[in-house]
């Protein structure tokens, strides 16, 4: 058994990194436990296959129980913030109103969360894109939107200096930013916290936790060796799947009927458009624009202008044999966009006897309507942009994993109290995307950070 820390934080991602920094800076003795590896900008894998294998749970992706959907979640120091796109959006009133209505938590409002958004944004280098930064992929998306009369907007991203003027291409940043420009939790919070005395253990997976009076014990496995740590307070920040899995493996399900329920993932459906001219969507900034049309929000979808490396693109197409080669030869002539829906939180996370996750997640009738609705609009946009062919990928992906240990006032439908405490425990907290009451339909990371900022202030005040 190790020493007794003030705090153990499980998971070094978007939430965990920020909490570790704030608490360490306030003078607390903190241990941050991370299942993934500890890369530096010089050591991130360069190619997508290696990056998927080394930095994602499941060695690339995890499948739902019937393999109808694949989920992507980072397993690395920095968590999702290392592999994500770094887009930073505040929620709107619609998202918070729905959260408040479903959870009964009164601080879920733009006004109440504004100081925490402000505090987090002050710590990040944020950049809103401009016209000169659009690559040909973005040009096609914008041209299509304008031809059809749909509104679009420039994205805001957490980045310091991506070196575009020096000729850097940003697609590699999905494998971890080799310039430390992307404002990942590793760059902004974990490294500075280490300098302040944070203790970080990596490649160590927490299996279960045990409340033991004044302390909480954390049982983990490090390269097959059992390890036990203890602290006066524990914060679970393993993400929707990670935190929920730890709580399920710790035997809390009988106590919390809602544990594992209300899982959502903003399912995404990808479309590749092929043009006569070269697009080279893998060059320049990776993603600079998306849809902003006010008609889309009530219809529950948004359109993102994205792209993927060759290995991921190949997986997204159906053809094989010569048909596969024919498509891939046109890689440099492709633009890409996706429909992302605001899905119902009907998914469920379970843990089998072998400790492995079983994620039950199927599209509901409403989800399907939203997908079809968004698909029709996106096809119209891509056709109007001059595409000679549009390929629709038949595979569904979830990148924004939310819920499973949600926050609320009703014990029948929630697990975590509005003060972030696991219901019935004074020294176990949950703070990450697992406490999301439902899918906001907006990029989740900035709000994960704002919620973490709020908890840090609550803890440092006490």
Partner 1 sequence: MTSEYFSPRALRGLNRIGDMLIPGDAGLPSFSEYGCSEKVDDLVAYAPAEDIATLNTVLAVMAVAPTAVLRWLIERMTAVTPDQSGTIASLMRQLNFGLRGILFSLYYGEKAGSQYTGPDPLEVIGYQVRRVE
| Binding partner of 237, given partner 1, ligand FAD, none, CB within 5-8 angstroms per partner class | ligand FAD
Contact segment (CB under 8 A) with partner 1 among 13-21, 65-73, 232-240, 443-451 equals 65-73
Q: According to the binding rule CB under 6 A, does residue 105 interact with ligand FAD?
A: no
CA distance 86 to 91: 15
Q: According to the binding rule CB under 8 A, does residue 69 interact with partner 1?
A: yes
175-214 burial, b for 16+ CB within 10 Å, e for fewer? bbbbbbbbbbbbbbbbbbbbeeebbbbbebbbebbebeee
Q: According to the binding rule CB under 8 A, does residue 352 interact with partner 1?
A: no
Using CB under 8 A, pick the residue from 4, 6, 26, 61 that binds partner 1: 61
Q: According to the binding rule CB under 6 A, does residue 22 interact with ligand FAD?
A: no
The three-state secondary structure class of 294 is coil
Residues 439-458 that bind ligand FAD (CB under 6 A): 443-445, 448
Residue 396-435 contact track with ligand FAD, rule CB under 6 A, x = bound: ---xx-------------------------------xx--
| Binding partner of 321, given partner 1, ligand FAD, none, CB within 5-8 angstroms per partner class | partner 1
Q: How many residues bind ligand FAD (CB under 6 A)?
A: 39
Q: According to the binding rule CB under 8 A, does residue 11 interact with partner 1?
A: no
CA distance 310 to 172: 12
Nearest distance in Å: CB 320, ligand FAD: 25
Using CB under 8 A, pick the residue from 24, 204, 265, 283 that binds partner 1: 283
* Number of residues written out for the chain: 462
Nearer to ligand FAD (CB atom), residue 16 or residue 267: 16
Closest-approach residue to ligand FAD (CB): 13
Residues 373-412 that bind partner 1 (CB under 8 A): 394-396
Contact segment (CB under 8 A) with partner 1 among 115-123, 247-255, 312-320, 342-350 equals 312-320
Q: According to the binding rule CB under 6 A, does residue 15 interact with ligand FAD?
A: yes
| Binding partner of 332, given ligand FAD, partner 1, none, CB within 5-8 angstroms per partner class | partner 1
CA distance 350 to 248: 7
Nearer to ligand FAD (CB atom), residue 75 or residue 261: 75
Nearer to partner 1 (CB atom), residue 52 or residue 243: 52
Q: According to the binding rule CB under 8 A, does residue 354 interact with partner 1?
A: yes
CA distance 162 to 182: 8
216 beta partners? 211, 231
Q: According to the binding rule CB under 6 A, does residue 85 interact with ligand FAD?
A: yes
The answer to whether 147 and 385 are in contact (CB under 8 A) is: yes
Cα angle for residues 449, 264, 87 (degrees, 5° grid): 40
DSSP category for residue 354: T
CA distance 173 to 186: 14
Nearest distance in Å: CB 311, partner 1: 4
Residue 205-224 contact track with ligand FAD, rule CB under 6 A, x = bound: xx------------------
CA distance 45 to 176: 8
Nearest to 433 by CA among 396, 395, 400: 400
Nearest 10 degrees: Cα torsion 13, 15, 19, 22: 100
What are the Cα distances from residue 248, in Å, to 30, 41, 195, 232, 428?
24, 35, 34, 21, 14
| Binding partner of 34, given partner 1, ligand FAD, none, CB within 5-8 angstroms per partner class | ligand FAD
Nearer to ligand FAD (CB atom), residue 98 or residue 205: 205
Three-state secondary structure along 134-199?
A: CCHHHHHHHHHHHHHCCCEEECEEEECCCCCCCCCCHHHHHHCCCCCCECCHHHHHHHHHHHCCCE
Using CB under 6 A, pick the residue from 22, 24, 54, 237 that binds ligand FAD: 237
- Output Rg (C-alpha) for the chain, integer angstroms: 21
Nearer to partner 1 (CB atom), residue 58 or residue 386: 58
Residues 106-165 that bind partner 1 (CB under 8 A): 163
Nearest to 409 by CA among 73, 190, 107, 45: 107
Nearest 10 degrees: Cα torsion 174, 341, 429, 82: 0
Using CB under 8 A, pick the residue from 80, 172, 403, 444 that binds partner 1: 172
What are the Cα distances from residue 431, in Å, to 152, 239, 258?
33, 8, 17
Kindly list the residues in this chain that would bind partner 1 in the complex (CB under 8 A).
46-50, 52-54, 58-61, 63, 65-70, 163, 166-169, 171-172, 178-179, 280, 282-283, 309-312, 314-315, 318-322, 324-326, 328-329, 331-332, 354, 356, 363, 394-396
């Amino acid at each position: 058994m190790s020493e007794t820390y003030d705090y153990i934080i499980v998971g070094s991602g978007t939430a965990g990194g920020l909490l570790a920094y704030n608490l360490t800076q306030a003078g607390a003795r903190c241990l941050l436990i991370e299942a993934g590896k500890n890369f530096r900008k010089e050591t991130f894998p360069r190619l997508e296959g290696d990056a998927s294998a080394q930095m994602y749970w499941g060695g690339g992706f995890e499948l739902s129980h019937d393999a109808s959907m694949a989920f992507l979640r980072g397993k690395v120091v920095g968590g999702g913030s290392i592999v994500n796109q770094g887009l930073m959006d505040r929620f709107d009133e619609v998202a918070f109103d729905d959260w408040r209505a479903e959870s009964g938590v009164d601080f879920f409002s733009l006004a109440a969360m504004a100081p925490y958004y402000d505090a987090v944004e002050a710590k990040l280098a944020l950049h809103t894109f401009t016209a000169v930064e659009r690559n040909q992929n973005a040009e096609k998306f914008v041209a299509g939107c304008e031809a059809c009369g749909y509104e679009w907007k420039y994205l805001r991203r957490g980045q310091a200096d991506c070196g575009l003027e020096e000729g850097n291409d940003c697609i590699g940043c999905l494998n971890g930013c080799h310039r430390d420009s992307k404002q990942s939790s590793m760059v902004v919070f974990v490294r500075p916290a280490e300098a302040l005395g944070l203790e970080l253990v990596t490649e160590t997976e927490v299996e279960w936790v045990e409340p033991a009076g004044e302390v909480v014990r954390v049982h983990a496995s490090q390269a097959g060796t059992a390890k036990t740590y203890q602290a006066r307070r524990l914060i679970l920040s393993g993400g929707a799947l990670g935190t929920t899995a730890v709580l399920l493996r710790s035997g809390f399900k009988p106590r919390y009927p809602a544990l594992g329920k209300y899982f959502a993932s903003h399912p995404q459906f990808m479309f590749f458009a092929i043009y006569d001219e070269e697009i080279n969507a893998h060059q320049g900034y990776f993603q600079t624009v998306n849809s902003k049309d006010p008609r889309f929000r009530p219809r529950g979808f948004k359109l993102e202008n994205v792209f993927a490396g060759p290995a991921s693109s190949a997986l997204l197409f159906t053809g094989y044999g010569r048909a596969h080669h024919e498509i891939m030869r046109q890689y440099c002539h492709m633009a890409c966009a996706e429909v992302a829906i605001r899905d119902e939180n009907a998914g469920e996370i379970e843990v089998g006897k072998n400790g492995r996750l079983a994620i039950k997640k199927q599209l509901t009738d409403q989800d399907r309507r939203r997908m079809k609705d968004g698909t029709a609009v996106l096809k119209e946009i891509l056709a109007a942009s001059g595409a000679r062919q549009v390929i629709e990928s038949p595979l569904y992906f979830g990148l924004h994993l939310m819920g499973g240990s949600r926050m609320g006032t009703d014990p029948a439908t929630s697990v975590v109290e509005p003060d972030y405490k696991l219901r019935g425990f004074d020294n176990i907290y949950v703070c990450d995307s697992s406490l999301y009451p439902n899918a906001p339909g907006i990029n989740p990371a900035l709000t994960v950070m704002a919620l973490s900022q709020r908890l840090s202030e609550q803890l440092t005040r006490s």
